[in-house]
Structure 1
């Protein structure tokens, strides 16, 4: 049981950091919110990948990172944080 929880925390941290890295602009949030964002992205990405029938682990990670980026944008819009847009 703890392997699954620890895996989600570590995987969530990696996915959250990658989402913040790939999304342009400043993302002022702490490491706990980054991990939570990554965990939610992993859960959402895994669900979407399952619905699409994707079994390739790399593609599932890419979907999870994209889901985390979308969640990051939504978080910034809801929390009132400024979203930097190019242009």
Structure 2
């Protein structure tokens, strides 16, 4: 149960920071921001493991500075990809 709560808190923090950093307006409320952060933690943990060779990283769900940083990076990547996918043709 503690891990689930840690994932939700990590997701909320990472999603809010990513939305604040990423330029433009993104829709979504509390649940979308939390989901974005949780998925960002997974993506960030994967990218950290792939590029830096770190084991765990954000994928562990621990509330530490490196895990939040990886989760924010992953959430920003997801925001960028989502923007590309939902971009309207002019």
Q: Where on the TM-score scale, by shorter chain, does this alignment land: which range?
A: 0.7 to 0.9
- Measured at CA, do residues 38 and 69 of structure 1 come closer, stay the same or move farther in structure 2, by a change above 3 Å? same
Q: Name the counterpart of 2:83.
A: 76
Mapped contact 1:49–1:60 kept (Cα < 8 A)? no
**Distance (whole Å) between structure 2 residues aligned to residue 72 and residue 19 of structure 1:** 8
- Measured at CA, do residues 20 and 64 of structure 1 come closer, stay the same or move farther in structure 2, by a change above 3 Å? same
RMSD in angstroms over aligned alpha carbons?
Answer: 2.2
Mapped contact 1:19–1:69 kept (Cα < 8 A)? yes
**Distance (whole Å) between structure 2 residues aligned to residue 10 and residue 33 of structure 1:** 13
TM-score w.r.t. the length of structure 2 is 0.72
Q: Name the counterpart of 2:6.
A: 7
Instruction: Name the SS for the 1:29 alignment partner.
Output: coil
Q: Name the counterpart of 1:54.
A: 54
Unmatched 5+ residue regions in structure 1? 82-87
Instruction: Say how many residue pairs are matched.
Output: 80
TM-score w.r.t. the length of structure 1 is 0.74
